[in-house]
Chains A and B, each alone.
Chain A
């Protein structure tokens, strides 16, 4: 995921839609958030392949990949790094799509009040009062707890996919 996300960050103008932000020198972490989608292109050799491009044309049913990259731009190591991302409104989390090297991933179905290592360890109660095991569509929040410290210059990225309702 890292290799894929770095060129996207360099796409400048197009990324105005997939906004980014980073910390000031007083802080130490720079954070970017890129929304991309798959696009099928035909190469010069006539072979079709799928590449990830910044979100452009998005209609119901489209899958969007969110890639959040953190980077320690300070001079000191930082610890207890937790990346947290609510699944956007009008989108459903795609089962099994959350990734993040060197992180412990947690899921929530109640807006971040309770967390579990997988969705099937959580339950939801429907309008009729029946309780059932949570599914991907119930996921409201995802978090990545970064293992250990992030050294100066250190970086990592986490990602998940969500489908537009």
Chain B
């Protein structure tokens, strides 16, 4: 047991210093941030008393050092399935990994893709990136998440934004879902709550696994978008006498209907329809959605008749799966 000589003045001085400091630090008691590992917690109890009319004082100390609590949490940030076009590697799922312990740690991250329970597809070629610019998407400044040995240290209470970027197969159905699970495991120590190990470089305290086991996982979801086009064709024959006999000189009116289905947008859709053999295109008969189009390839509009290939060509451009059906109409005469 320690024995110290205590003098009145010497004992009151630390107390007075503490009182001054307390006035400044009172709000800290209310806010209560997690105390860092390695912090020395000092308690000084004091007693004052009188004997023979004189006042005496002395104090006694109790000190301990805070151990490192090892805990981690991860959450998916997007909240709703992230829409991504079939056949693309355009968008990532955003996760936030937070060191909920009170000391520095680093983490190994792994991804596991599976079809969503309600039916879906499996995204593939998943890769992890650090969302360095915190814009929630994959951009030039973002870097691949390193192997465990090179994983960045995460300070206590700090978090990092991580993007899981996967390839969406081209043949997946519109609105089908793929789950991506991000698994996080401490490089320092994982295990049962209460498991311990020494902290390298720190003899004064140890690391203790917290309630998370120092591992965590969260699942995000991709929603694929895709588009298909249904083509239907109808024809109406009109002969010279106003009947419907298909004979030389009769006129055939063709109507092509392009109906998009899905939530994606197809790019640069071109309809190229050769006219039937033994027919002749009726100049100036091409219409798109009821509007006349010139036959020339250089007139700047969306439609042409190519006299070399005997084909009607209409540039429909980018067609959203949710847009209205398009109608192409032209006429030919039977030779």
Residues of A with C-beta under 8 A to B22:
86, 110-112, 140-141
Q: Are B26 and A81 in contact (CB under 8 A)?
A: no
Pick the most buried of B1, B49, B65: most chain A CB atoms within 10 A of its CB: B49
Q: Is B34 an interface residue (CB 8 A)?
A: yes
Other-chain contact of B60, A21, A24, A87 (Cβ < 8 Å) = A21
Q: Is B33 an interface residue (CB 8 A)?
A: yes
Interface string of A18-33 (1 = CB under 8 A from B): 1111111001110111
How many Å lie between the Cα of A78 and that of B48 in the bound state? Answer: 10
Other-chain contact of B26, A34, A66, A124 (Cβ < 8 Å) = A124
Known: A12-B1, A140-B26. A24 touches B6 (CB 8 A): yes
Q: Are B69 and A59 in contact (CB under 8 A)?
A: yes
Other-chain contact of B51, A64, A74, A165 (Cβ < 8 Å) = A74
Number of interface residues of B (CB under 8 A): 55
Residue of A nearest to B48 (CB): A82
Known: A31-B59, A109-B26, A140-B22. A78 touches B50 (CB 8 A): yes
Pick the most buried of B20, B50, B196, B206: most chain A CB atoms within 10 A of its CB: B50
Q: Are B29 and A87 in contact (CB under 8 A)?
A: yes
Inter-chain residue pair count (beta carbon < 8 A): 187
Other-chain contact of A80, B39, B48, B58, B59 (Cβ < 8 Å) = B48
Other-chain contact of A32, B26, B60, B64, B102 (Cβ < 8 Å) = B60
Residue of A nearest to B44 (CB): A86
Known: A24-B5, A59-B208, A124-B26. A68 touches B49 (CB 8 A): no
How many Å lie between the Cα of A29 and that of B15 in the bound state? Answer: 18
How many Å lie between the Cα of A24 and that of B215 in the bound state? Answer: 53
How many Å lie between the Cα of A111 and that of B15 in the bound state? Answer: 10
Q: Are B45 and A22 in contact (CB under 8 A)?
A: no
Q: Is A90 an interface residue (CB 8 A)?
A: yes
Q: Are A83 and B47 in contact (CB under 8 A)?
A: yes
Residues of B with C-beta under 8 A to A90:
35, 39, 41, 66
Residues of B with C-beta under 8 A to A24:
3, 5-6
- If A35-B64, A57-B208 are given as contacts, then 4 extra A-B residue pairs at C-beta distance below 8 Å, sorted by A number, are A24-B3, A78-B56, A86-B43, A91-B41
13 intermolecular pairs with C-beta atoms under 8 Å apart: A18-B62, A27-B6, A33-B44, A35-B62, A58-B41, A58-B65, A58-B67, A66-B62, A82-B47, A84-B47, A86-B18, A124-B26, A164-B41
